[in-house]
Chains A and B, each alone.
Chain A
Amino acid sequence: MSDAERPTDGGVSGDDDFEPIQVFPEAEEMDLRPGADDCYKCSTCDTNCPVAEVDDEFPGPKFQGPEQWRLKRQEDQDVDDSVMKCSNCMRCDSACPSDVPLSQMHNTARGEYVEEQMDKFSREYVRNRILANYRRLAPLGSMFPRTTNFVMGLSATQWLGEKVLGITSERELPEFATETFREWWTKRGGAQVTNPDKRIAYFHGCYANYNTPEVAKALVRVYEHLGYEIMVPDQHCSGTPMFANGMLEDARRSAETNVRELAAALEDGADIVASCSSCSMSLRQEYPELFDFDGTDDVAENTWDAVEYLRVHEDLEAELEGTSVGDEFDDFAYHAPCHARNQGLDGQTLEVLAPIDGVEAHDVGDSCSGISGTYGWKAENYETSMKIGEEMVDHMEDADAETGLTECPTCSMQMEHGTGYEITHTLEVLEAALVGTAESTATGANAQ
């Protein structure tokens, strides 16, 4: 604040009648220097950083986080541009033995970098804005899904995407579903189970709505099978791609809607579940670290991963004992997404699938897939992304399985891109075991 902006007070007045309304600080203005107090520089974060492992130019989370913050003075604006190389996998958070708020530091610094230093007319900014705001474009795509899929699949389009926007042409853009989850949900008349005692609000996120509604439908069928009333509140993007691109203002707007809607659902007696591990991560950790809306903490404390919720609130093991799945699934090569790992959920899928007959999941280890949301879509990160993912791909190919399994949409893109396998979500397997396959249920519904 410059002197000119400060109201001057020449005399000595003892009273404080001029009290400006206290607004909480914008996320990119937060002072996280005190967080550096927790760092004793052991470098465990650096040894767990998948980007630092393959990119010698990347200084690693210890520098990005506590060291850079500690060197900061109030008036300093410049954040080192290497923060844009961080993929926001958040592994450093779980690696740190001393609770340094590393990803919060990265998110805030990245937001500040984009806000203060990035040219708003640069190709990089425009591209990142588009990638971060996938949800705003997706409705257009899914209005004419077949046309969009056709056009996006054209090599000319991909060439243009790379040349004009810096979106790698190595990857195939995800296809839009012909019917979004929300369209399906409305068409079927919403919830088919009412139960004031067992109620969940489903945060489906963008990808399960526009691209893989089969995952969202699987969640609905599993939860309804177990007697839950499902609410599907209005929702925006969880913010994950916006944090990763430093678009904190966009994230703030989305988060404001999400917190308002989800807090209202909590009022209605629901708990919140998400099928995407990055969405649940965002609601649980990043919201309270970056925002301060009414109800942010409540929403964070009552948000669950969809499978985790069932393991805690149901006897899922007993439900699954003796179930079997048929030929629709082969054995799986399972990759635990970093954002699931950070929530302590990395062993969950293997344990849940164990009692189901007819299918086996092989853990492909604790490496990062390397795509980290929008990160691996950027032409300049493509190579790094593939190098990080190499270990996962090798292990998938070594595993005794021909299909892949994971809970994260972008990890599944990378798994598919690296191996050519078809990738399934854990909820789809649970659906098959508990309810029967999507097709047979759909057929049954049609027969009625």
Chain B
Amino acid sequence: MARDTAVLVLGGGSTGCGIARDLAMRGLDVTLVERGNLTDGTTGRMHGLLHSGGRYAVSDQASATECIEENEILREIAGHCVEETGGLFVQRPEDSDDYFREKLEGCRECGIPARVLSGSEAREVEPYLADDVKRAIEVPDGAVDPFRLCVANAIDAETHGARVETHAEVIDLLRDGDDIYGVEVRHDSGPGKRTHATPGTTEEITADYVVNATGAWAGQIGAMADLEIEVRPSKGVMTIMNVRQVDTVINRCRPKGDADIVVPHETTAILGTTDEEVSDPDDYPEAGWEVDQMIDTLSELVPILSEARTIRSFWGVRPLYEPPGTGTQDPTDITRDFFLLDHADRDGVSGMSSIVGGKFTTYRAMAEEISDHVCEQLGVNASCATAEEPLPGSENIERLEAGMDDFGLRSPVARRSKQRLGSRACDVLETDEPNPVICQCEGVTRAEIQDAVSQSGSDLNAVRIRTRASMGNCQGGFCCGNMASELHPTHDEETVREALDELFQERWKGERHALWGEQLSQAMLNYALHAATMNRDRDPASAGEDVDFAAFDGGRPEGDRVDGPRGAR
């Protein structure tokens, strides 16, 4: 029976997009479906650490070794998504010397370059470290933008012929006896790029093979075909600081625990995290104390954090998995390794494998292994090239960085734009049109917004993850409206309004957890701007009814006006 596609990948996170790119590059016909926009699940809710492997150097050396290998590959193939910040494992006086030594030895055993710095040397690297930090191990940790990396994978998959459908939620697995042969999806606004205010449709997509790469949601997908997949979703809170207090990844050098990492991320620093098992990856409590406790604990390492402004907090859900019968109680002890579950071997149901567990840094290696498995199932003989072929934006990146062209932009705006766009900078920023800065906080220009709009339709959250527009300290208060205006006239008024509301709501979601101090002032100003200046709290145009203009009177006659006749002043 002819199928719509050879391989159907479920899930538009780092794993799914990585698999789609890998298989498409091997010449397979691939379709990827994602419930929301790309990175909507766990990928978009991580702390942005590109592991050197140092964090696993004591507890899980296999993972550590894999991390350093992939770390080095990503620096090469995804230079425009990676910032080579370096990282420190910082020891406070109360932290164990034995553990420090084990960490250092572990790094060396795993091939992770590691060097000891004295307390004062560490403070010279990072002046905001606490005065009493004892010493530190320097490792090649880095910062990675998960949005950009994931999108680059998806773009490259499309370039190699793949079909990528976002806002297409899987509502059923198509199963014929003991064979899974596709899914039914519900398109939010029909297939293709998303357009708000357009009615949805459903579609059956059949495939020779299905890869369930939905992470923490893999159990829910499996249940649609009566398969039991024991993912143990575990939530972790992350808090975004308004500015970078550190330019190096700061880890606490002690056995795994809560609140032990600060990652410089673009213009911000992200504090992480906690580890607590939840039953439903879509519905779990988000408590203020989790944020408070994390800031308190990390202030022991970087005291300025206790006074610093946070702009939002968010929770991510780890797709942890352990084979049935392992019975680990504490989620922090569950392995971070990934598992390929071939349901033919495991459940006697052919046509689908699920991929669970794993971590962002090693997404490419996971994708390679799964792609090998898929090729074997389909009898295809093709080898993986993802470790050598740079992602779009990262070709000839050194040449771009050497280039002095500022595209007529102010230097910090040009610098940040080029870092985001990588080798695509010239194509995107060279324009004869006026190119004003739309998002002042992050230095994003109209040309970059328009480029993102051309990729993602009316979905402003998709524009956001591509450009960082609205991710700065006003959290979209000043720029959401201008971003939405960029959709017009391609999109009509109703679409633009819905897109604006959706983006602004999404920004508010994380801001709710940062409402004190300056961010509270910011929220009040944003409210005043949107509710009062823009009249968005009771805009008649949003009421969906026609405005009865005849009901308005004509105003006072000129002679009665308190300020005199018009033009008299």
Chain B nearest CB, measured from A108 CB (Å) = 14
A37 touches B411 (CB 8 A): no
A41 at the interface (CB under 8 A from B): yes
B242 touches A70 (CB 8 A): yes
Within B281-317, the residues touching A (CB, 8 Å) are 304, 308-309
A70-B441, A70-B473 known; A9-B115 Cβ under 8 A? yes
How far apart are the CA atoms of A50 and B121 in the complex, in Å? 44
Chain B nearest CB, measured from A31 CB (Å) = 7
Partner of B309, one of A37, A41, A67, A73: A37
A8 at the interface (CB under 8 A from B): yes
A34 touches B245 (CB 8 A): yes
Chain A contributes a number of interface residues (CB within 8 A of B) equal to 45
> A98 — which chain B residues lie within 8 A by C-beta?
518, 521
B243 touches A40 (CB 8 A): no
B116 touches A37 (CB 8 A): no
B247 at the interface (CB under 8 A from A): yes
> A67 — which chain B residues lie within 8 A by C-beta?
412, 440-441, 443
Instruction: Tell me which of A10-18, A147-155, A180-188, A331-339 binds B.
Output: A10-18
Instruction: Tell me which of B11-19, B96-104, B324-332 binds A.
Output: B96-104
Chain A nearest CB, measured from B243 CB (Å) = 4
A38 touches B244 (CB 8 A): no
How far apart are the CA atoms of A37 and B478 in the complex, in Å? 16
A1 at the interface (CB under 8 A from B): yes
Chain B contributes a number of interface residues (CB within 8 A of A) equal to 47
User: Interface readout for B235-262 with A: 1 if CB under 8 Å, 0 if not?
Assistant: 0000000111101000000000000000
Chain A nearest CB, measured from B94 CB (Å) = 14
B410 at the interface (CB under 8 A from A): yes
A33 at the interface (CB under 8 A from B): yes
- Cross-chain pair count, CB within 8 angstroms: 116
A81 at the interface (CB under 8 A from B): yes
B247 touches A74 (CB 8 A): yes
B104 touches A70 (CB 8 A): no
Chain B nearest CB, measured from A74 CB (Å) = 4
B243 touches A41 (CB 8 A): no
B308 touches A34 (CB 8 A): yes
User: Interface readout for B530-556 with A: 1 if CB under 8 Å, 0 if not?
Assistant: 000000000000000000000000000
Chain A nearest CB, measured from B127 CB (Å) = 7
> B117 — which chain A residues lie within 8 A by C-beta?
6, 9
B380 at the interface (CB under 8 A from A): no
How far apart are the CA atoms of A31 and B267 in the complex, in Å? 14
Q: Closest residue to A13 on the B side, CB-wise? A: B116
> B104 — which chain A residues lie within 8 A by C-beta?
12
A16-B135, A41-B477, A63-B440 known; A70-B116 Cβ under 8 A? no
B308 touches A37 (CB 8 A): yes
How far apart are the CA atoms of A397 and B134 in the complex, in Å? 67
Chain B nearest CB, measured from A218 CB (Å) = 45
Q: Closest residue to A7 on the B side, CB-wise? A: B121
B454 at the interface (CB under 8 A from A): no
User: Interface readout for B488-513 with A: 1 if CB under 8 Å, 0 if not?
Assistant: 00000000000000000000000000
B411 touches A78 (CB 8 A): yes
> B309 — which chain A residues lie within 8 A by C-beta?
37-38
A19 at the interface (CB under 8 A from B): yes
Within B85-117, the residues touching A (CB, 8 Å) are 97, 100-101, 104, 115-117
B472 at the interface (CB under 8 A from A): yes
A75 at the interface (CB under 8 A from B): yes
A37-B308, A63-B410 known; A1-B518 Cβ under 8 A? no
Partner of B304, one of A16, A34, A42: A34
Chain B nearest CB, measured from A151 CB (Å) = 41
28 A-B pairs with CB atoms under 8 Å apart are: A10-B115, A11-B116, A12-B100, A14-B135, A16-B135, A18-B118, A18-B120, A34-B245, A34-B304, A34-B308, A36-B243, A37-B242, A37-B243, A37-B518, A38-B518, A41-B473, A41-B474, A59-B410, A63-B410, A67-B443, A69-B243, A70-B243, A70-B472, A75-B247, A79-B412, A80-B410, A98-B518, A98-B521
The list of the 7 closest CB pairs from A to B, nearest first, reads A74-B247, A37-B309, A40-B522, A71-B412, A33-B243, A80-B411, A80-B410
